[in-house]
């Protein structure tokens, strides 16, 4: 199997939240730092995937992969295509910064189930993949590039075409992403009650 790198995806515009989601604190540290630490034991190296503005703010604190200009404004695919520019033959354990309920054992489950094929959490109730909770292998890179060239940026579509391995969580709550201030406040309450 190829080398496995970690990728904490933070480069979205966060327009609905009104602030950088990777800076939100659910666990007493910014979410990107929380996830970075979570991925470290499982990966050769971990990177913060970010936009230019975030990269300036992060500085040398963490290794970063900045979204390439060619992939700006195409959503989460930008993070993966930019990462593959640097490491075309490697795999990436990808976690989005907007999943406050994800825990280390959920990420560990991905690494255990991973068998060399793209492996992604799947919400069986909604019948959708969670593209920013998975392991992407180099073979999917060419599919992404071909789709990018024709203006198709949906990772959901690509995962279906590639018949990515599905990981069903024990509790779909871990798949809940938070994109609004109200959602953030609700998550803080739920987390304080749960842990």
Go through the domains of the chain in sequence order and give each one's CATH number: 4-194 (3.90.550.10)
Model pLDDT, residue 12: 62
- The Cα–Cα gap between 136 and 94 comes to 7
Model pLDDT, residue 57: 85
Model pLDDT, residue 1: 62
In which residue ranges of the chain is pLDDT below 50? Answer: none
For residue range 117-145, what is the model confidence (pLDDT) as tens digits?
999 999 999 999 999 999 999 999 999 99
What b/e string do you get for 82-109 counting C-beta neighbours within 10 Å, with b at 16 or more?
bbbeebeebbbbbbbbbbbbbeeebbeb
Residues near 193 by Cβ (< 8 Å), separated by ≥ 6?
Answer: none
Q: Is-above-0.75 flag for pTM?
A: yes
């Amino acid at each position: 199997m190829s080398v496995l790198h970690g990728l904490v995806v933070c480069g979205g515009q966060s327009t609905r939240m009104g602030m950088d989601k990777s800076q939100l604190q659910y666990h007493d540290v910014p979410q990107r730092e929380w996830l970075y630490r979570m991925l470290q034991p499982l990966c050769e190296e971990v990177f913060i995937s970010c936009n230019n503005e975030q990269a300036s703010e992060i500085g040398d604190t963490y290794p970063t992969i900045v979204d390439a200009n060619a992939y700006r404004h195409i959503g989460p695919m930008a993070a993966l295509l930019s990462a593959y520019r640097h490491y075309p033959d490697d795999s990436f354990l990808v976690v989005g910064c907007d999943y406050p309920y994800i825990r280390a054992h959920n990420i560990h489950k991905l690494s255990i189930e991973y068998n060399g094929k793209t492996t992604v959490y799947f919400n069986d109730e909604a019948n959708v993949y969670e593209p920013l909770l998975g392991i992407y292998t180099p073979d999917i890179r060419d599919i992404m590039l071909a789709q990018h060239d024709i203006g198709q940026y949906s990772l959901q579509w690509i995962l279906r075409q590639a018949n990515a391995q599905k990981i069903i969580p024990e509790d779909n709550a871990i798949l809940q992403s938070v994109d609004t201030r109200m959602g953030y406040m609700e998550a803080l309450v739920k987390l304080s009650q749960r842990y």
